[in-house]
A and B are shown apart, each in its own frame.
Chain A
Amino acid sequence: GAGVSQSPSNKVTEKGKDVELRCDPISGHTALYWYRQSLGQGLEFLIYFQGNSAPDKSGLPSDRFSAERTGGSVSTLTIQRTQQEDSAVYLCASSPRQTYTDTQYFGPGTRLTVL
């Protein structure tokens, strides 16, 4: 079946612009996660959703970052007034439900470059 998909695969933007990154999880998966992979910081958790609510937003780096999920499916990560330090690969993952035995399935990522 279809895996986690993300769009765009690459995004180049100018400093100060807003960007939206999209994640389509595996159908039926109730939990959705955003991570960021950068050279300096490695792989970092950003936020996760259970259904449409976000019980843990602790990884969002600043108030320029926000995310939403609608219909228990698609999620959008928005970065406002982008900065060069936002350049990274943004990864989305989903899992069937929130238990410690569940596997998270990752999408291919969106590579964001802020000039």
Chain B
Amino acid sequence: GNSVTQMEGPVTLSEEAFLTINCTYTATGYPSLFWYVQYPGEGLQLLLKATKADDKGSNKGFEATYRKETTSFHLEKGSVQVSDSAVYFCALDLNAGGTSYGKLTFGQGTILTVHP
């Protein structure tokens, strides 16, 4: 079956540090890949996505590149801020012929804490 594996957390960084959160996946077919973020006290929201191999998703200084050869979608940010403290979820949504399977498979989530 489909699965997503994220690096274990929590991750604690100082402000302006470089961030990498690893994500690898197992899937049959050609999934779309997502990073969702959950800020304290708020709901899940889409951070970025990529729908095919070699696509790069980017938003708010975060980037992730869809690597089919390594089945990975690692999240990176060059300089984190205190406001980036949140839980980050990697996810996939398998598609076939342009129709999604209608469900997201999530990784276990990575808690990021950024200190001033």
Contact between chains at A100 and B109 (CB < 8 Å): no
By a CB distance below 8 angstroms, the chain A residues around B107 are: 42
Give the secondary structure class of B's interface.
strand
Q: B60 interface residue, CB < 8 Å from A?
A: no
Known: A42-B106, A48-B103. A99 touches B98 (CB 8 A): yes
Contact between chains at B100 and A99 (CB < 8 Å): yes
Contact residue range for chain A? Answer: 20 to 34
A74 to chain B, nearest CB (A): 18
Task: Report the Cα distance A33→B99, complex, angstroms.
Answer: 15
Q: A59 interface residue, CB < 8 Å from B?
A: yes
Contact between chains at B43 and A109 (CB < 8 Å): yes
0 or 1 for each of A62-100: is its CB under 8 Å from B? (1 = yes): 000000000000000000000000000001010000111
Task: Report the Cα distance A6→B11, complex, angstroms.
Answer: 31
B100 to chain A, nearest CB (A): 4
Known: A42-B109, A43-B89, A104-B104. A99 touches B99 (CB 8 A): yes
Stretch from B20-28, B44-52, B68-76, B78-86 contacting the other chain: B44-52
Contact between chains at B43 and A91 (CB < 8 Å): yes
Task: Report the Cα distance A103→B103, complex, angstroms.
Answer: 11
Task: Report the Cα distance A48→B51, complex, angstroms.
Answer: 21
Name the residue of chain B whose CB is nearest to the CB of A44.
Answer: B106
Contact between chains at B105 and A45 (CB < 8 Å): yes
Known: A100-B93, A103-B49. A59 touches B109 (CB 8 A): no
Contact between chains at A42 and B100 (CB < 8 Å): no
Name the residue of chain B whose CB is nearest to the CB of A47.
Answer: B103
Task: Report the Cα distance A33→B44, complex, angstroms.
Answer: 13
Residues of B within 8 A of A (CB): 32, 36, 42-46, 49, 51, 89, 91, 93, 95, 98-109
Q: Which 10 A-B pairs have the closest CB atoms?
A: A100-B95, A43-B106, A45-B103, A106-B44, A48-B102, A100-B100, A108-B43, A42-B108, A106-B43, A100-B32
A-B contact pairs, 27 of them (CB 8 A): A4-B43, A33-B102, A33-B104, A35-B104, A42-B107, A42-B108, A42-B109, A44-B106, A48-B103, A55-B102, A56-B101, A56-B102, A56-B103, A93-B44, A99-B95, A99-B99, A100-B32, A100-B51, A100-B98, A100-B100, A102-B100, A103-B49, A104-B46, A106-B36, A108-B42, A108-B43, A109-B43
